[in-house]
Structure 1
Amino acid sequence: MGASAWDYYAPYQEDLGAALEELQHQVFLAGDYYWVRGGDWLPEEERRPRPSTLDELWADEWAQHSGTHSILDVFHVQREDEEPEICAVQPVTVEEARRYTGTERLTRAHVPAIQDLAGERGYGRCAVLHDDHGRPQEIYFWGWSGD
């Protein structure tokens, strides 16, 4: 199938990890992810209903292998000073923000300039986006995942 790009906006909160968890909960409840066991390419008798919990989703070997092609495929937010980890979200650093946009205070208008920072499958990024007055307004999460 190949990897898929995904991106989401979440209301700002200081705890990026908590924001990630809330967003994942919303995506899971909405069913806004690829469920490998429900594909039309499967014979009807092999299809399975969507899992009722994230634990059930990740207990499925097919899901572990194929991923969900969504933000569900990342498991935590790293600190800015950590080396990028597969299946994690790394915040955009001040240096990256300045280099790609010329400012530390990113807004929605800067999103196209930073999107290439998440160019490898299995890695996610996030950035705090500000309003016109420089106040944190939302968090942009994006990446590539799935197989």
Structure 2
Amino acid sequence: MGASSWDYCVPYQEDLNAALQQLRREVFAAGNYYWVNGGDWLPEDEREPRPPTLEELWQDELVQEAGTHSILDVFQVIGPDDTPDYRTVEPVLALEAREQLGTDTLTRAHVKDFDVFPRSRWVGRCAVLHDAQGRPHEIYFWGHSGD
């Protein structure tokens, strides 16, 4: 199947990891992810129902291998001194934003240029977006995952 790109924008909250966890719960509850055991490519009588919890979803070996092609494939936002690793989300730091885009007050208008930020498959990124007055307004999550 190959990896899929994904992106989400959520209201700002200071705790980026809490925002990620809330978003993951919402995406899971809405069923907005690829469910490898219930895909349209399977005959209808062979499709399995979606798991009732995130924990059960990740117990499935096929999901562990293929992922969900969504924000569900990353588990935590790392701190500024941590090294990005498989299934983590790396925030865009102010210095990185200044070096790449000339400002540390990112807005929705900058999102189209976010390809300048290094990223790896199965490692998400996030950035705080500001309103016209320079106040934190939203958090933008993006990445690509899945096999």
Q: Shorter-chain TM-score: which interval?
A: over 0.9
Change (3 A) 1:118 1:71: farther
Give 1:39 shift: 1.1
Cα deviations by residue, 1:99-147 (Å, 9 ceiling, x for unpaired): 2211011000011112342542101000000001010000000001001
Count of residues in Structure 1 that have an aligned counterpart in Structure 2: 147
- Write the distance in 2 (CA, Å) between the matches of 1:16 and 1:69: 21
- Write the distance in 1 (CA, Å) between the matches of 2:115 and 2:127: 10
Structure 2: 5+ residue runs without aligned partners?
Answer: none
Q: Could you state the TM-score of these two structures normalised by the residue count of structure 1? A: 0.95
The two structures, once aligned, show a CA RMSD in angstroms of 1.1
Aligned residue for 1:80?
80
- Write the distance in 2 (CA, Å) between the matches of 1:48 and 1:101: 46
Residue pair 1:12, 1:128 contacting (<8 A) in 2 also? yes
Higher mean C-alpha deviation, range 76-85 or range 1-10: 76-85
Q: Could you state the TM-score of these two structures normalised by the residue count of structure 2? A: 0.95
Matches within 5 A, 1:71-110: 71-110=71-110
SS in 1 for 2:76: coil
Structure 1: 5+ residue runs without aligned partners?
Answer: none
Report the residue type matching 2:20 in the other structure: L
Residue pair 1:4, 1:146 contacting (<8 A) in 2 also? yes
Matches within 5 A, 1:1-147: 1-117=1-117, 119-147=119-147
